[in-house]
Amino acid sequence: MTIIFLLIGLSLLVALTFLAAFLWAVRSGQYDDAYTPSVRMLFEDEPELRP
């Protein structure tokens, strides 16, 4: 049953990765504005008109 030490260690590692991902997402400002991106993604992509 000592494999449990390894398994728990691995599962903690996975969980820590998710925690780190969450902290990174907060830090990079993804939680600052939860509204505008939802509108922006619906805008039509238009061809570049500037010469």
Q: Which residues bind other proteins (CB under 8 A)?
A: 1, 4-5, 8, 11-12, 15-16, 18-19, 22-23, 26-27, 31-36, 39-40, 42-44, 46, 49-50
Give least dist CB 26 to other proteins, A.
4
Give least dist CB 37 to other proteins, A.
10
Identify the three-state secondary structure at position 31: coil
Give least dist CB 5 to other proteins, A.
7
Cα 12 to Cα 17, 20, 23, 27: the distances in Å are 9, 12, 16, 22
Query: In whole angstroms, what is the distance from residue 21 CA to residue 27 CA?
Result: 10
